[in-house]
Amino acid sequence: MAFKHHKTTEILKWFEQISQFPRCSKNEGAVREWLIKQAQENHFEVKTDNVQNLLIKVPASQGYEQSPIVVLQGHLDMVCEKTPDSNHDFSTDPIKLIYEGDWITADKTTLGADNGIAIALAMTLAVDKELAHPPLELLFTVDEESGLIGASALAPGFFDGRILINLDSEEEGHLTVGCAGGLNTHLSVPIDWAEVPTHYQLMKVKAGGMKGGHSGVEIHAEKANAIKILAQTLHYLKKQVDIRLANLSGGNAHNAIPRDCEAWVFVPKNQIETVKTILLETETLLKSAYKNTDPDLFIKVEGCNETYNQAITLEHTGKVIDVLMVQPHGVAAMSTEIEGVVETSNNLANVSVKAGKLEVLTSQRSLLVSKLEALTHQIEAVARLVGGETHNETYYPPWQPNMESLLLAKSLQIYERLFDDQKPVVKVIHAGLECGVIGDKISGMDMIAIGPTLNSPHSPDEKIHIGSIGRVWDLLLELLKELK
């Protein structure tokens, strides 16, 4: 396949090879070992740390030996999401790439361009002996998608550079200089169980067909959250029918807006037709509400083979529904300092019933630590009101923008020169980036984030714009030439 930009084929060859390796968070070992082998074949120095972050040192090209070291940074893992009808096994199967015009997507799964394209760009640059660049450190972290775990474990001294170009931004023509911080909260709520009443039948109610997406990048888009949709459905149902929940399951990654959620519900046999009517009416109501964002939203009854000897009591069925109804989801506040940027949000990410308790995972983000804490306290208060417990984990700090950055000034200048005086957008994003963690741990960092255009990351609709890859390459190459 021929591409307009002369380097695109080479970059995508690397990306195709990377896509052969399963690399869900915490399962990056195979791709890391392959990269180590590639580095060793090119006689690059390689090292890993105690959590298996990878550093590849690339010597300076001739004439750049005394230039400051530049760190090119991305992460090894990817979010693993697939459509309900996909039989893809993320632990063993390669990602199947599909070329569609000027876009690449995957076959019913996430693509992994977030952040495989960063690895591809960095390795293409590293092995090309004809390119001019300063000493490079390719820093590939692990477990980014679980909450920037690898970056949080970096120790001072693992790398030497104080100029860092992060390749995890998702819109070409945008220079990212700041991001939100985040925190995950687990809620555990005790629930009472009882024998299933006689003359009740088990049904599975499913809410699905929703678009989902990245809970940082797309939280402002007002997409439907499947957990919220199902909770609202169960609320309508409980108002008219004596239902008893037996189980709940919905959502996957903490940073993905849930696309599917299902509940196993006991209902009186003589009200089954009433239940079906209520579900149909609810589906019509909610499809209308989300027709612009989630046109394929559905609510339906499915057959189920499971058997349950007990169900959640009537009172605590109501309690479970209320807990999910009252949990915040979506934008909590827009920034008053940066127009059009989300300041604070929450993603109601996952729900399940385990060991007889309701388990809920939420993921909060904010540009301001005080607002992040306030939203977290609100979620903790909900748990206390229903006799539950919470614990917080995977905190990462916000990345405060430095508008006086020399790296930013150089990037602006080069971009306008390369692309006919087009001015790039300088932005702060609501998603978390590892720059925030790295800058918080290591003083004196000058950082910027760039990358090709990605649509719908963290969902099976993820795709990358091929034409944008060459523009990012040109910017990166010129930037490295001038950091002398």
Q: Which of 260, 185, 267 is nearest to 228 (CA)?
A: 260
44 contacts 56 by C-beta, under 8 angstroms? yes
Q: CB under 8 Å to 428, separation ≥6 — which residues?
A: 176, 177, 178, 179, 335, 338, 341, 367, 401
Amino acid 302: pLDDT: 85
99, 100, 106, 108: CA torsion to nearest 10: -140
Tens-place pLDDT, residues 307-366: 898 999 999 999 999 999 999 999 999 999 888 999 999 999 999 999 999 999 999 999
- Catalytic one among 28, 114, 137, 144? 144
Q: What is the pLDDT of residue 2?
A: 65
Query: Does residue 218 have an active-site annotation?
Result: no
SS3 annotation, 9-47: HHHHHHHHHHCCCCCECCCCHHHHHHHHHHHHHCCCEEE
Structure tokens at 388: 């539950």
pTM of the model: 0.85
Neighbours of 284 (CB within 10 A): 11
Strand partners, 241: none
Helix extents (H) in 252-405: 272-289, 314-326, 369-385
Domains and CATH numbers, the chain: 8-179+398-482 (3.40.630.10), 183-396 (3.30.70.360)
| Tokens coding 451 | 């990358």
Is 102 part of the annotated catalytic residue set? no
Report, in angstroms and rounded to the nearest whole number, the Rg of the chain calculated over CA atoms.
Answer: 24
At residue 14, φ and ψ (nearest 5 deg) are -60, -45
pLDDT tens, position by position, for the chain (484 residues)?
668 888 999 999 999 999 999 999 999 999 999 999 999 999 999 999 999 999 999 999 999 999 999 999 999 999 999 998 999 999 999 999 999 999 999 999 999 999 999 999 999 999 999 999 999 999 999 999 988 999 999 999 999 999 999 999 999 999 999 999 999 999 999 999 999 989 999 999 999 999 999 999 899 999 999 999 999 999 999 999 999 999 999 998 899 999 999 999 999 999 999 999 999 999 999 999 999 999 999 999 987 888 898 999 999 999 999 999 999 999 999 999 888 999 999 999 999 999 999 999 999 999 999 999 999 999 999 999 999 999 999 899 999 999 999 999 999 999 999 998 899 999 999 988 999 999 999 999 999 999 999 999 999 999 999 999 999 999 999 999 998 7
Determine phi and psi for 50, rounding to 5 degrees. -70, -15
pLDDT tens digits, 163-215 = 999 999 999 999 999 999 999 999 999 999 999 989 999 999 999 999 999 99
Indicate the pairing of strand 136-141 with strand 70-75.
parallel
Whose structure tokens read 């009416």?
281
- Quick one: pLDDT at residue 484? 79
On the CB side of 226, CA atoms within 13 Å amount to 30
Measure the CA–CA gap between 398 and 337, rounded to whole angstroms.
15
Comparing CA positions, the residue from 283, 147, 107 lying closest to residue 210 is 283
Cis peptide before 115 (omega within 30 of 0): yes
Instruction: Report the pLDDT value the prediction gives residue 1, as an integer from 0 to 100.
Output: 63
Check 28, 77, 143, 260 and give the catalytic one. Answer: 77
At 303 the pLDDT is 78
**Distance, C-alpha 253 to centroid of its chain:** 7
